[in-house]
């Protein structure tokens, strides 16, 4: 992992509660894999932790850029969202493990994202597409205003959506989407709110579909020191920041 000073190239406001930060580095950005994250230092806010974990949303190698999708939830993220073009942001990255990309991926891979948990699915989709696979995306959110980057996703595969209020796509939760009855998927990857991931894991188990989840447990140190991110697994309590964030559902005691 590296400690990098990244320069903001773009700060895009996506609806009211989300920003997309695009950052570049003077040196070539390191190798990063889908599912990995960065610990981003929050400067200028006394009431926040020193760093925040933000998952890697996309890597644009041509422009030497890394993208972070940020939901504005508290002081730290509001502070981050103020970053302007040219500002420097310090990040430790890449951290954590990553999604398993099959050697010969089939076209029956399902990538499920909920809320801001869609973030790693874009980079995963791009990497799968690079391996000649056309993944299916199933993205869920509370309302149409929380469904983000749909155009970016559609560059790599078919996109299906749900909203809880029915303002876009099918009404309800991702697990209720009709596509799950139409296609027998061979592998599922998911990231989002825990109840959603648990429901997806249950669906995957009952249909015998291998499934990996990226956990978003609260993190502080990001390096396995504070133990605030532990998850109960078949090997006991594991730090999500160090041993994860990606786990096969068979490992989790859900
Ligand atoms: Fe501190 Fe994982 S965030 S141990």
Contact 37, 96 (CB under 8 A): yes
Domain regions of the chain by residue span: 2-95, 109-216
Residue in 224, 238, 245 to alter for ligand 1 test, most ligand atoms within 8 A of Cβ: 224
By DSSP bridging, strand 2-14 and strand 158-163 are: unpaired
Instruction: For the full predicted model, state whether its pTM sits above 0.90.
Output: yes
| Ramachandran assignment for 193, one of left (phi > 0), alpha (psi -120 to 50 degrees), beta (any other) | beta
User: Could you give the 3-state DSSP secondary structure of residue 101?
Assistant: coil
* Lining residues, ligand 1, CB within 6 Å: 219-222, 224-229, 239, 241
- Cα–Cα nearest to 98, from 133, 135, 61, 123: 123
Identify the pLDDT of residue 45. Answer: 63
Ligand 1 atom closest to the Cα of residue 240 is: 2
- Tell me the C-alpha distance between 210 and 203, whole Å: 10
Q: Which of 7, 9, 2 is nearest to 25 (CA)?
A: 7
Q: Which ligand 1 atom sits nearest the alpha carbon of residue 220? A: 3
Q: Which residue has the tokens 């103020």?
A: 82
Topology annotation, domain 109-216: Rossmann fold (3.40.50)
Q: How far apart are CA 82 and CA 77, in angstroms?
A: 9
Ligand 1 atom closest to residue 53's alpha carbon, by position in its atom list: 3
CB neighbour list of residue 200: distance below 8 Å, 6 or more residues apart: 112, 174, 175, 188, 190, 211, 213
Indicate the SS3 state at residue 7.
strand
* Ligand 1 probe mutation, 241, 244, 247, most atoms within 8 A of CB: 241
Q: Are 61 and 33 in contact (CB under 8 A)?
A: no
Intervals of the chain under pLDDT 50: none
Residue 79 CA to ligand 1 centre (angstroms): 22
- Tell me yes or no: is domain 2-95 CATH 2.40.30.10: yes
**Torsions phi, psi of 168, nearest 5?**
-160, 140
- pLDDT at position 22: 98
How does DSSP classify residue 99?
P
Atom of ligand 1 nearest to the CA of 229: 2
Say how many Å lie between the CA of residue 241 and the centre of ligand 1.
6
How many other CB atoms are found less than 10 A from the CB of residue 169?
A: 20
By most ligand atoms within 8 Å of CB, the mutation choice from 51, 227, 231, 244 for ligand 1 is 227
Within 13 Å and on the Cβ side, how many CA atoms surround 217?
26
Write the pLDDT tens digit of every residue in 24-75.
999 999 999 999 999 999 887 665 557 889 999 999 999 999 999 999 998 8
Q: What is the pLDDT of residue 47?
A: 57
């Amino acid at each position: 992992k590296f400690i990098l000073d990244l320069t903001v190239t773009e700060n895009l406001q996506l609806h009211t509660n989300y920003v997309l930060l695009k950052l570049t580095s003077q040196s070539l950005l390191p190798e990063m894999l889908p599912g990995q994250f960065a610990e981003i230092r929050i400067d200028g806010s006394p009431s926040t932790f020193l760093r925040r974990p933000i998952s890697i949303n996309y890597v644009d190698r041509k422009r030497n850029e890394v993208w972070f999708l940020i939901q504005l939830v508290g002081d730290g993220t509001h502070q981050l969202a103020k970053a302007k073009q040219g500002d420097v942001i310090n990040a430790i990255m890449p951290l954590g493990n990553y999604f398993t990309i099959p050697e010969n991926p089939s076209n029956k891979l399902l990538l499920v994202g909920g809320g801001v948990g869609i973030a790693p699915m874009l980079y995963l989709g791009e990497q799968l597409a690079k391996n000649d696979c056309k993944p299916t995306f199933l993205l869920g959110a509370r309302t149409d205003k929380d469904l983000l980057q749909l155009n970016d996703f559609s560059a790599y595969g078919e996109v299906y959506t749900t909203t809880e209020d029915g303002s876009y796509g099918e009404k309800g939760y991702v697990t209720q989407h009709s596509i799950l009855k139409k296609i027998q998927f061979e592998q599922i990857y998911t990231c989002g709110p825990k109840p959603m991931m648990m429901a997806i894991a249950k669906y995957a188990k009952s249909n015998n579909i291998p499934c990996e989840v990226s956990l978003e447990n609260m993190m502080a140190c990001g390096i396995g020191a504070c133990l605030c991110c532990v998850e109960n697994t078949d090997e006991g309590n594991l730090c999500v920041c160090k041993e994860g964030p990606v786990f096969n559902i068979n490992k989790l005691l859900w």
